[in-house]
Amino acid sequence: MGGVVPGRVRVRVPAKVNLFLRVGGVREDGYHDLVTVLQSISLHDTLLAVLDVSGASAHPAARRFMGLCLTVDGLGAVPTGEDNLALRAARALMSQVGIGTDRAGGQHEGPVTRLHLTKRIPVAAGMAGGSADAAAALVALNHLWQAELDRDVLRELAAELGSDVPFCVAGGTALATGTGTSTAQVLARGTYHWVVGVTDAELSTPEVYRAHDAVGTATDAQPDAVLQALRTGDAEALGAALHNDLEVAAMHLLPELVAKRDALLQAGALGAIVSGSGPTVLGLAASAQEAVALAAAVESMFDRVEIALSPAGGPEVASE
């Protein structure tokens, strides 16, 4: 850590969509092998990180300790304790840079970092909201604590926190393999207009994978058509090529998703797909104007409808 300088950093971190997702066999570690094309989308959470040194002891030993706390507001219910992925990421970064956790009432009280998370990304909805928040914490605290870790080190920390976290640190468009942590950026032209259909019911990712093993069929789908559509910026071709092996499992657990996807298609979407492990359903529109019309047409089918653009960048940092 370069030094303890009070400050504030605000990071906006986008959600992700899987434009293509093929689920392979179960590996020895229990995870499935994946091939997926990920793109970040403008729907975002915001993490504010504030370093408060006002109560810190002047003793040199205090510099090795840091208090950490988290508050959350916005949409959806997420854990606010140590299970929150933003806090887990903060702890991982602390241990990487050799900062200990402040001992309550300890002799050498250190500074305190206060995190405040504002959720807009639907929770347990297949849009990697938790992973995005973990990525936001890594990027925000790397700045705030002047840790100066490069993106490669951040990516290694990210891979230990969850399979979508390395992608969320980078943003953009990527082809991911393995458990999803091995990512390579791919060429993507154009801007895509989405209607994001949110359903309040949550689907747990492990449960969807279990349903996939029970009722899903193995496909040998390839990402080539999606990659080609992205290379040429062809929204119509992208709509036709969208593919998600987990869709059958998500629809098995929540049959109402079939009617939701069909409503988007009937209202003129170029393509519609369950996002990741669901239950969010995405409709691709031909233009910004079409997205507004599509959102209005399907609004009554969902608990919430958002309009979003892809690709978005990676976590966006603003120092205050």
User: Which one of residues 13, 86, 291, 308 is an interface residue with ligand ATP (CB under 6 A)?
Assistant: 86
> Toward ligand ATP, which CB reaches closer, 142 or 199?
199
Establish whether 119 is a catalytic residue: no
Choosing from 51, 94, 125, 196, the residue that interacts with ligand ATP (CB under 6 A) is 125
Say which amino acid occupies 256: E
User: How open is the CA angle 172-175-178, to the nearest 5 degrees?
Assistant: 130
Q: Are 203 and 254 in contact (CB under 8 A)?
A: yes
Q: Does 169 bind ligand ATP (CB under 6 A)?
A: no
Q: Which of residues 208-237 bind ligand ATP (CB under 6 A)?
A: none
Query: Any catalytic annotation for residue 164?
Result: yes
Residues 259-298: x/- map of binding to ligand ATP (CB under 6 A)?
-----------------xx---------------------
Task: From residue 303, give the alpha-carbon distance in Å to each of 1, 43, 60, 199.
Answer: 44, 16, 53, 5
Residue choice 68, 93, 127, 281 for contact with ligand ATP (CB under 6 A):
127
Among 17, 34, 48, 78, the residue binding ligand ATP under the rule CB under 6 A is: 78
Q: 292 vs 83, 197, 256, 261, 284, CA distance in Å?
A: 37, 13, 23, 17, 11
Helices (H), the chain: 85-97, 129-144, 151-161, 165-170, 205-215, 224-232, 235-241, 247-253, 256-266, 288-298
CB of residue 161 to ligand ATP, shortest distance in Å: 10
Tokens 């250190």, located at residue: 110
* Distance from C-alpha of 258 to C-alpha of 260, rounded to nearest angstrom: 5
CA–CA distance, 154 with 59 (Å, rounded to integer): 30
Taking the C-alpha atoms of residue 227 and residue 205, their distance in angstroms, rounded to an integer, is 25
Q: Which of residues 189-208 bind ligand ATP (CB under 6 A)?
A: 205
Could you say which of 67, 110, 111, 130 contacts ligand ATP (CB under 6 A)?
Answer: 130
Catalytic pick among 45, 133, 164, 245:
164
Told to check if 124 binds ligand ATP by CB under 6 A, we report yes
128, 147, 188, 264: which one binds ligand ATP (CB under 6 A): 128
Footprint on this chain of ligand ATP (rule: CB under 6 A): 78-79, 83-86, 123-131, 133, 164, 205, 276-277
